[in-house]
């Protein structure tokens, strides 16, 4: 008499298969999460501002993307330059 004829071992075999599939799915998900987190820390996602970038480079990027026009760009550029000179003068 085999264990499969007792009427209870077939569902244990099914649970074993489900547990194995769940285990390997978890391993695959952990590898995916690790790879994507490493990738996110190395390079900024598309459309995100770079952290720590200076105001002028951010302004240049906004002009290049078409978020602001040339007149607005010049006004903001002059405001940044004025702000830098006023801070530099106040340090002395």
pLDDT tens digits along 10-47: 788 889 999 999 999 999 999 999 998 888 776 555 55
Q: Collapse the DSSP code of 67 into the 3-class scheme (helix H, G, I; strand E, B; otherwise coil) and give the result.
A: coil
As a whole number of angstroms, the distance between CA 30 and CA 24 comes to: 10
Please tell me the pTM assigned to this model: 0.39
How would residue 54 be classed by pLDDT, with cut points 50, 70 and 90? confident
Report the mean per-residue pLDDT for the chain.
79
Say if residues 73 and 63 touch (Cβ distance below 8 Å).
yes
As a whole number of angstroms, the distance between CA 2 and CA 9 comes to: 10
Q: Collapse the DSSP code of 12 into the 3-class scheme (helix H, G, I; strand E, B; otherwise coil) and give the result.
A: helix
Rounded to an integer, the average pLDDT of 63-88 is: 86
Residue in this structure with the two tokens 């993307």, named with its chain if needed = 65
């Amino acid at each position: 008499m085999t264990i499969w004829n007792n009427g209870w071992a077939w569902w244990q075999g099914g649970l074993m298969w489900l547990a194995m599939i769940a285990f390997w799915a978890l391993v695959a998900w952990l590898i995916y999460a690790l790879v994507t987190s490493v990738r996110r820390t190395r390079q900024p996602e598309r459309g995100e501002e770079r952290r720590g970038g200076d105001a002028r480079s951010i302004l240049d990027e906004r002009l290049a993307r078409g978020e602001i026009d040339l007149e607005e760009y010049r006004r903001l550029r002059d405001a940044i330059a004025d702000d830098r000179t006023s801070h530099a003068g106040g340090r002395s």
